[in-house]
């Protein structure tokens, strides 16, 4: 076990991609427990790790979001959000946050949100008088709404690996996503006078709202298709994702008429690259996960937690601390895959509903997307805006505190976390 741990962290420190780190560590573990005979398990587990029908939803969601972005729906959603809240002090910051909610229903990925708004809203905010670090901080804070509000790729992964209802996880993600938006907007209001954020001279205009709504209604239909189909029990998440792709292509080719053959090929290549990267991590992690299960490591870790305390609220606190710490240093897809067996055992031992446990785990790892040193959203923002990670992080900490507070609410108030799953799915 020590050799596997040393190999894992040693390869990670020298910069080996996480997908290869997981595979090499897993193969080393198999060799140690059974020599050459156990090595035949590696390719078997590699392919079986991807042999889940629900995983097909991920490339479809990625392609649907990329298509809607390419046909200009991102700007129309941002314009609609600006029409709703742009008149307030710090209006563009509020618009950025609300647009993240609207955009989340198409992509399910934080990095897509960050890249889209980093290229559009951040320059617009800077031009209007916001500091670039603050504009980046608002964008990063809103970006984790994407993988929280359905469709969430992380929830697809967790639900598939843990055997938990993906529809239930999607329903449970609605409230945390809304809370992130509302409370971060409240924080912007609190900071607006201190930071002297710009204020529009014009008040709200019903005609502008209706006009921008008309322009964005095509984009707003997609989340309705996805959520309505899944939560209504009409289609599976995979089928809903495929329908979303068909709808996105219909919009791009027939309605907007902006999709060309070259753009489609470029989108397919980008989708294949993102999917391949995530699937490599999943497949390689399945080797390491099998070794961990064989060695009963998840059970030993769970027993170790329970030996420290059997009080549920203490165990929940330790789980949150571990997730936030691990997320700061490890790719969240890899962390989710490795930790799912152990956390499933541990949360079940303290009586947590599996859907409740899933949304807590996903939300905690989402927060790590914007925490240094390896927060993916920070690197994306830094690359597209030219701002340093240090300055973005300095402006981001109030938003991190708000979102950690939301995480604590969702963790410790079961009825709050399960409100939408109970109401929509009777879980």
The tens digit of pLDDT for each residue in 356-391 reads 999 999 999 989 888 876 677 787 788 778 888 888
Are 120 and 204 in contact by the 8 Å Cβ rule? The answer is no
Q: Do both 337 and 401 map to the same domain?
A: yes
What pLDDT is attached to residue 109?
67
Q: Do both 27 and 163 map to the same domain?
A: no
Alpha helix ranges (H) inside 232-328: 237-250, 261-294, 297-308, 312-327
What pLDDT is attached to residue 184?
93
Instruction: Provide the 10 A C-beta neighbour count for residue 127.
Output: 10
Where do the DSSP E strands lie in 336-397? none
What is the average per-residue pLDDT within 209-222?
Answer: 84
Inform me whether the pLDDT recorded for 35 exceeds 80.
Answer: no
Residue 187 lies in a domain: yes
Residue 46 lies in a domain: no
What pLDDT is attached to residue 257?
86
Are 258 and 236 in contact by the 8 Å Cβ rule? The answer is no
What is the average per-residue pLDDT within 201-226?
Answer: 80
Q: Give 379-426 pLDDT, tens digit per residue.
A: 778 877 888 888 888 889 999 999 999 999 999 999 998 999 998 887
Residue 76: which pLDDT band, with cuts at 50, 70 and 90? Answer: confident
Q: Do both 325 and 200 map to the same domain?
A: yes
Q: Do both 19 and 163 map to the same domain?
A: no
What pLDDT is attached to residue 344?
85
Percent of the chain with pLDDT over 70: 96
Residue 45 lies in a domain: no
Residue 44 lies in a domain: no
What pLDDT is attached to residue 388?
85
Backbone angles phi, psi at 196, to 5 degrees: 55, 50
What pLDDT is attached to residue 153?
80
- End-to-end alpha-carbon separation of the chain, Å? 39
Structural domain count, the chain:
2
Are 382 and 190 in contact by the 8 Å Cβ rule? The answer is no
Residue 375 lies in a domain: yes
Number of H helices, E strands in the chain: 21, 0
Least Cα distance to 23 among 49, 52, 2, 1 occurs for: 49
Are 159 and 166 in contact by the 8 Å Cβ rule? The answer is yes
Q: b/e for 71-82, b at 16 or more Cβ within 10 A?
A: bebbbbbbbbbb
Residue 47 lies in a domain: no
Instruction: Provide the 10 A C-beta neighbour count for residue 29.
Output: 26
Q: Give 279-323 pLDDT, tens digit per residue.
A: 888 888 888 888 877 887 777 777 787 788 888 899 999 999 988
Q: Do both 62 and 31 map to the same domain?
A: no
Q: Helix 18-39 to helix 2-13 angle, to the nearest 10 degrees?
A: 150
* C-alpha angle 181-365-236 in degrees, rounded to nearest 5: 80
Rounded to whole angstroms, the Cα distance separating 333 from 9 reads: 17
Highest mean pLDDT: which of 46-55, 63-72, 154-163? Answer: 154-163
Rounded to whole angstroms, the Cα distance separating 144 from 180 reads: 9
What pLDDT is attached to residue 63?
86
Torsion of CA 82, 110, 183, 97, to 10 degrees: -10
Q: b/e for 30-69, b at 16 or more Cβ within 10 A?
A: bbeeeeeebeebbeebbeebeebebbbbbbbbbbbbbbbb
Least Cα distance to 326 among 4, 18, 2 occurs for: 18
Q: b/e for 394-417, b at 16 or more Cβ within 10 A?
A: ebbeebbebbbebbeebbeeeeeb
Q: Do both 343 and 295 map to the same domain?
A: yes
What pLDDT is attached to residue 304?
81
Q: Do both 146 and 177 map to the same domain?
A: yes
Token code pair at residue 19: 């997908």
What pLDDT is attached to residue 162?
86
Least Cα distance to 81 among 103, 48, 113 occurs for: 103
Residue 89 lies in a domain: yes
Q: Do both 134 and 233 map to the same domain?
A: yes
Higher pLDDT, 104 or 270: 270
Where do the DSSP E strands lie in 71-210? none
What pLDDT is attached to residue 41?
78
What pLDDT is attached to residue 143?
85
Rounded to whole angstroms, the Cα distance separating 136 from 378 reads: 8
Backbone angles phi, psi at 199, to 5 degrees: -130, 130
Q: Do both 63 and 16 map to the same domain?
A: no
Q: Do both 27 and 74 map to the same domain?
A: no
Q: Do both 239 and 270 map to the same domain?
A: yes
Q: Do both 28 and 123 map to the same domain?
A: no
Say which range, 38-52, 157-171, 230-244, 317-331, has the weakest mean pLDDT: 38-52
What pLDDT is attached to residue 409?
95
Is the pTM of the predicted complex or chain greater than 0.75? yes
- For residue 166, the enclosing domain spans 53-425
Residue 311 lies in a domain: yes
Inform me whether the pLDDT recorded for 186 exceeds 90.
Answer: yes
On average, the pLDDT of the chain sits at 84
Rounded to whole angstroms, the Cα distance separating 258 from 147 reads: 27
């Amino acid at each position: 076990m020590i050799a596997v741990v040393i190999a894992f962290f040693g390869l990670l420190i020298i910069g080996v991609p996480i997908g290869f780190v997981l595979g090499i560590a897993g193969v080393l573990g198999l060799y140690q427990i059974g020599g050459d005979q156990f090595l035949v398990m590696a390719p078997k587990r590699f392919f079986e790790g991807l042999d889940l029908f629900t995983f097909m939803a991920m490339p479809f969601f990625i392609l649907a979001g990329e298509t809607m972005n390419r046909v200009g729906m991102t700007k129309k959603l941002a314009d609609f959000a600006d029409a709703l809240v742009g008149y307030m002090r710090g209006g563009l910051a509020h618009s950025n946050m609300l647009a993240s909610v609207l955009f989340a229903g198409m992509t399910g990925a934080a990095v897509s949100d960050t890249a889209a708004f980093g290229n559009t809203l951040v320059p617009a905010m800077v031009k209007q008088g916001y500091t670039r670090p603050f504009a980046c901080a608002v964008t990063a804070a809103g970006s984790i709404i994407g993988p929280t509000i359905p469709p969430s790729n992380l929830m697809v992964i967790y639900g598939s690996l843990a055997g938990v209802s993906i529809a239930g996880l999607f329903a449970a993600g609605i409230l945390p996503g809304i809370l992130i938006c509302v409370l971060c907007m409240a924080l912007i209001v609190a900071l607006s006078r201190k930071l002297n954020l710009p204020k529009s001279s014009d008040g709200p205009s019903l005609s502008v709202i209706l006009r921008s709504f008309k322009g964005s209604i095509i984009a707003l239909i997609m989340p309705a298709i996805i959520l309505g189909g899944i939560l209504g029990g009409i289609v599976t998440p995979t089928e809903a994702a495929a329908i979303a792709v068909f709808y996105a292509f219909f919009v791009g080719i027939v309605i907007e008429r902006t999709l060309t053959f070259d753009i489609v090929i470029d989108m397919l290549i980008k989708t294949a690259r993102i999917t391949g990267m995530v699937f490599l991590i999943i497949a390689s992690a399945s080797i390491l996960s099998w070794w961990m299960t064989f060695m009963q490591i998840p059970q030993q870790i769970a027993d170790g937690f329970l030996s420290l305390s059997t009080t549920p609220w203490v165990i929940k606190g330790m789980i949150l601390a571990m997730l936030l710490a691990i997320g700061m240093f490890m790719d969240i897809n890899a962390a989710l895959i490795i930790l799912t067996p152990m956390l499933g055992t541990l949360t079940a031992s303290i009586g947590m509903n599996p859907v409740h446990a899933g949304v807590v785990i996903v939300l905690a790892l989402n927060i790590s997307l914007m925490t240094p040193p390896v927060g993916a959203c920070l690197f994306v923002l830094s690359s597209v805006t030219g701002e340093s990670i240090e300055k973005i992080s300095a402006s981001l900490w109030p938003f991190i505190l708000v979102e950690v507070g939301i995480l604590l609410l969702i963790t410790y108030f079961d009825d709050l976390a399960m409100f939408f799953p109970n109401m929509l799915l009777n879980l």
